[in-house]
Amino acid sequence: MDRKDSLAYKKTFSYVKTIDFEELPTTEKKACVVVEDIIHITKKEEVKLRNAINYQAHHKIQKIICASHAIYKNQIYSLLAFFNFVIFTSALSNVPTIRNVFNYFKVEADQIQAWLEEYKKVGKGRHGIYFFFDCEKMTFNVSLNMLFKNILCIGILGAPQESTNSETKNNTDIKFLQTRFEKFVANFPLKNEAASIFSIIINCINPNFLRPHDLTIIFFVDKTRKAKKLISVVDYINFLLSEIETPSANLIALHRFVQSFCYIPKIFIRNKFLLSQIQD
């Protein structure tokens, strides 16, 4: 990490200090080591970094973060198997690098293409959206904020591809979910308005995000994927159409998720809480 980067980190963490590769073996237990802006490292430095990632991270209970703009010609490619996660911003310029990472982990060509299409569709270069490959579970995931909460799994290595390449299959999934939703709201006084809102949402998000049996979306609380929330799209639409209902934290989380993909016209929103937020 150079002096400029170190000073930037110190604004948030006063105890940050700058070290070089020679000092990696002497870092303290439970330290968080950031190897910043890796452009080129020597063979000797690669050995030290490999030892740090493979040995120190476990035996010293350290977190080691390597930041780089590429993985080729800087010795990072040979180290990929030692990382827990490989994280990407949503910038479209990352596509070649992501493809190289997938190739390293022997992802099939059709699955690579499907995952990259989902990456482009969901990310769109937006700030705060991060994608990551879990090197242990062999899954490709997206986090909708930089705290790595609200995590959605795009796909699992070797599993049948849920993200669709086929427009026909995509339309079939959407029609099935719309029919399912209409059954849920068959006796709802505002069922026509509800169906219109659902149609907007399901045509904007990946239909595979929605569980068909109960029309919920799974949000993982953190990147361990052990704690999760099930948030009902039916309850969310009912909230939009209810004038005085106060939103729960779960409904607000789902609302922010939906907003990141589509715009629901104000003529469909009756909830006074949301309308006041829009006016502000």
Same domain, 154 and 250: no
Q: Where does a domain end: 36, 51, 83?
A: 83
Q: Are residues 172 and 269 in the same domain?
A: yes
Q: What is the pLDDT of residue 160?
A: 62
Whole-angstrom Cα Rg for the chain: 22
The pLDDT score that the predictor gives to residue 190 is 92
| Number of domains the chain is built from | 3
Q: Which residue has the tokens 């699992």?
A: 156
The residue ranges of DSSP E strands in 90-176, in sequence order, are: 130-134, 139-143, 151-156
In what helix (H) or strand (E) does residue 209 lie, and over which residues does it extend? Answer: none
Q: Give this prediction's pTM.
A: 0.57
Question: In the listed set 62, 83, 104, which residue is the last one of a domain according to the structure?
Answer: 83
Q: What is the pLDDT of residue 221?
A: 65
Q: Which residues contact 18 (CB under 8 A, 6 or more apart)?
A: 1, 2, 3, 6
Same structural domain, 274 and 213: yes
Residue-number span of the structural domain to which 62 is assigned:
1-83
> Is there a contact between 112 and 106 (Cβ–Cβ < 8 Å)?
no
Q: Which of 237, 193, 190 is nearest to 217 (CA)?
A: 237
In a shared domain, residues 275 and 173: yes
- pLDDT, position 165: 46
Report residue 147: phi and psi, to 5°.
-90, 5
63 shares a domain with 99: no
181 and 248 both lie in a single domain: yes
Token pair recorded at residue 70? 């590429």
Q: Give how far Cα 56 sits from Cα of 20, 26, 65, Å.
A: 16, 10, 13
**Residue 149 exposed, middle or buried by CB count within 10 Å (0-12, 13-18, 19+):** middle
- Closest alpha carbon to 238 in 187, 179, 162: 187
Strands 85-89 and 216-220, sheet pairing: unpaired
Nearest to 119 by CA among 101, 104, 135: 101
Specify the pLDDT at position 225.
59
Strands 63-66 and 32-35: parallel
Give the Cα separation of 1 and 6 in Å (integer): 6
Shared domain for 183 and 274, answered yes or no, is yes
State the pLDDT at residue 24.
87
Instruction: Judge if 3 and 59 occupy the same domain.
Output: yes
Q: Are residues 9 and 36 in the same domain?
A: yes
Q: Using the 3D structure, point to which of 164, 184, 201 is the last residue of a domain.
A: 164
On whether both 159 and 262 belong to a single domain, the answer is: no
- Do 205 and 266 belong together in one domain? yes
- Residue 161 has a pLDDT of 57
Digitized pLDDT (tens) for each residue of the chain, 280 residues in all: 556 666 777 777 777 888 888 888 888 898 899 888 788 778 888 888 888 988 888 888 999 999 888 888 777 888 888 899 999 999 999 999 999 999 999 999 989 999 999 999 888 888 888 999 998 889 999 887 766 767 888 888 876 655 444 455 567 788 889 988 999 999 999 999 999 999 999 988 888 888 888 999 888 766 665 667 889 999 999 999 998 888 888 888 888 888 888 888 888 889 888 887 765 4
